[in-house]
Amino acid sequence: GLPHEHGDGELRIHVRQGSRVKTYGRDQVLEFLAEIDEILAEPVALEIIGGAAALLAYGARNSTKDIDSFASIDERIRQAATRVAHKIPLDQAAVADPPYNYEDRRQRLNLPFRNLVVIVPEKHDLLLMKAVRGSRHDDEVIQEMHLAEPFDLERRSSSSSKNCSVAGARVVSESGEEI
């Protein structure tokens, strides 16, 4: 806001009472992406991160309020998204902190699309991206991903014999119990 709207050392935020953020489950995200796919005339890649990636690829059940991408979104996808019946906010993430060389580990999802190519971070990379944000919702998504398929914190890369473990890492519930 403007300087005259705040006191010294004060930040005023106006919140509408009673407003709820619309959220979307896995089926709704898939339907939205399928509609985009139907409009596209040629293959176009969309890298999805965050909650939508967890929903689509890693068994999270918690809904998402949008579809975030780390990369800028191709104009053909943006145009198609304006023409679909089911609308979900789709944008480049304002803040994202992917691990070093995460691009080398991204995965293409095997979805029944003709032209939309959906790419997501590898599961452990998405875990780290969510953990860095540290919100309560991100913690819930990490737990859901782990419950769907436990994280292998000592996994070894198939392309090298180097250990890819997250030193001292544990997945814990809100109460602090290891899950």
- What's phi and psi for 96, nearest 5 deg? -155, 140
Predicted TM-score (pTM) of the model is: 0.76
The pLDDT averaged over each successive group of 10 residues in the chain (179 residues) is 50 54 94 97 96 95 92 96 94 88 96 97 94 88 93 61 39 52
Residue 46 burial (C-beta neighbours within 10 Å; 0-12, 13-18, 19+): buried
Measured CA distances, 136 to 83, 133, 140, 142, 178 (Å): 34, 9, 6, 10, 17
Return the DSSP state at 122.
Answer: -
Q: Are 179 and 172 in contact (CB under 8 A)?
A: yes
